[in-house]
Every structure is written in structure tokens, then in C-alpha cells.
Structure 1
Amino acid sequence: MREEATTTSTKVYYYLDDSTPYLSVVPVADDAITLGDFKKVFSKKGYKYFCKQLDEAVGCEVKVEIRDDSTKLVKSANGLIELVLLSSFDNVYCSGTLPRVSNKTNKGQLTGAKLKDFNLRKRRSLHDLASENRDLLRIHRNKSDENSITASSLSTVISSK
């Protein structure tokens, strides 16, 4: 009876965006385990799931994407159940900007000084930033001469001596 209890769990090896394998023990027999069973143990969201399988047509191991939770997990060429989990970028903003506010009531919450400050920051142009940088560079050049150059200097001075 004790052996029966140990055989009802399955070791699933999985890779998360890198080459180091992780191990989860799923309380389901290896001949009946599904992607949904694995997801009950692995609670992180935002991944695409791939199962390593031996492809007879190619004659080597391939990674097959699994989307349906009822899909049965199969053993790879080495006899293990191996999954490869890749981050899904569907919900990640990669452009470096924040999403626009879609709810109009949120836009109305900026009032008074907050709205003025927001508009000033929003309208600050690259021209303004460039002129500030030019002013700082001019001040730095006026203060430095051949004897006051430090290791953190922005320019190289060639001595005529």
C-alpha cells in the first residue's frame, strides 16, 4: 500500500527562461498527468508552456507548445517529463511607455497644482533639455583650465608645453 501512494505522484522537470532545471512533484500518476495538473502546482502566470517530445518525422527531440490544460504531458527521449516555460510578453509593455488611461474618471482626478505640474513635465521639450546641457558644459569649460583638470573631466586638454 505504501508503494501505491508513492507511485501516484510525478516528477516534472521544467526550465524557466534559462538552462537550470527546476523540479515539481505533482500528485498525479505519470500516465495521467496534464498541463492543468502541473499548473495547479506551478502558480506563476504569464508563461507559454512547451513539452519536450520525440518527433518521429525528424528523428530528434523537439519542443511542442501546449495551450490546452487538458493536454496530457508525455515523457521526453530520456524518460522524464520535461517542460520549457518561456515568459509570455502579451501583457508586458516593452515600449518603455506606460499605457494610456482608458477610464475617463481617472483623467479628471488631476486638478489644480497637480495638473499644472503634470502639464509642465509633459511639455518639457528636448530643446529645453539640450539648452540646459549646453549651459552646464559652458560653465564647466569656463571653470576648468590646464591646472584644474581632474580624472572626472569631460574633455581632454593637450598642453603646449
Structure 2
Amino acid sequence: QVSATEYYSTLERMSDNTGMNVPKSRSHEVLRMIHQWRHLRNLKQSGVGYAGVDANQPGILAVKCPACPHPGINIPSNWYLEREKLWLYKVFFGLDANFHLTQFNVSSEERDPGLNKGWAYMVDNHVLQQFIAIFQGQWPPEKSDCSDHNAVKLANHCGDHNLATT
């Protein structure tokens, strides 16, 4: 397995290894092709593309947590009828400050359209922009009351100048 840059430079060298007639760089097109291929592979592996990709619902490509209770899958469908065993099916959420999911800025949706459209872990960009417009500037930035956690202190501090969402 090699990186896309190494793969593309190998293709260029196979085309002309002398360096006399260097072909025009098509590395952006190769990266876009890889992006589209990964997206199609994700649709195929999830088994959701058979009715047409426009029929997909939001969140359909997100991997369900295998430890979380899903009625009819890993817990009985009638789990709520057994009162003495309800504690077995309770969801426990343990959160830490190491969760990291980002969405990069793009120049415009028309110029660089997203392939995912809210089918996995990020919501649809149009829905997100509508939500932000409703609540824009209505709350101050949150300050943590944790004593001394670097992840919390640096959460809104560095490396987010090129990101739409963190």
C-alpha cells in the first residue's frame, strides 16, 4: 500500500522517466478520483446504493455502535416488557476530551460539492447552515470548568482556521 503521491509520481515516471517531456500534473484529478472511489466503496459496503443514492436517509452510512442496545439486533424486540431486566438494556455514555471529528472549509458548495450529503457522521451542509443562521451569536463561547486538561484548554485555540466544523 502506497500513498497517492507516490502512486502518481510512479505513473509520471512510467510515462517519461527521462524528465525531458514531463506531462502536465494531474495529481488533483487523481486525488478527486480516489475520493470518489472511496465514497462509492463506502456506499457499496454499506449496501445502501441499490435504490439509488438519492433515496438514502441522513446517517445511513454511520456505523452503529455494537455495544449500544439495538432492539431486534442485539437485544430482544420486547425488551421493555421485562421490568426486572430493564437495567440490562440501559445505555451508558462515557465521554472524554479526546473525540476529534472535523469538517474542512470549501470554497463553495457549487464549486466543490460534497459527496456524502449527511449520510455518515456530518450533517448536510444546507441543514447546518440553516441551523447556524437561526442561532448565530445568541450564546457566548463555552468556558470549561475543568481544572487542567490540555485537550479542553486547546479545544478552541489552535489549528481550526481552515475548518468549518470541529
* TM-score when normalising by structure 1: 0.23
Greater relative contact order, per chain length (Cα 8 Å cut-off, separation 6+)? 2
* TM-score when normalising by structure 2: 0.23
Q: Which has more radius of gyration?
A: 1
Higher helix proportion (structure 1 or 2)? 2
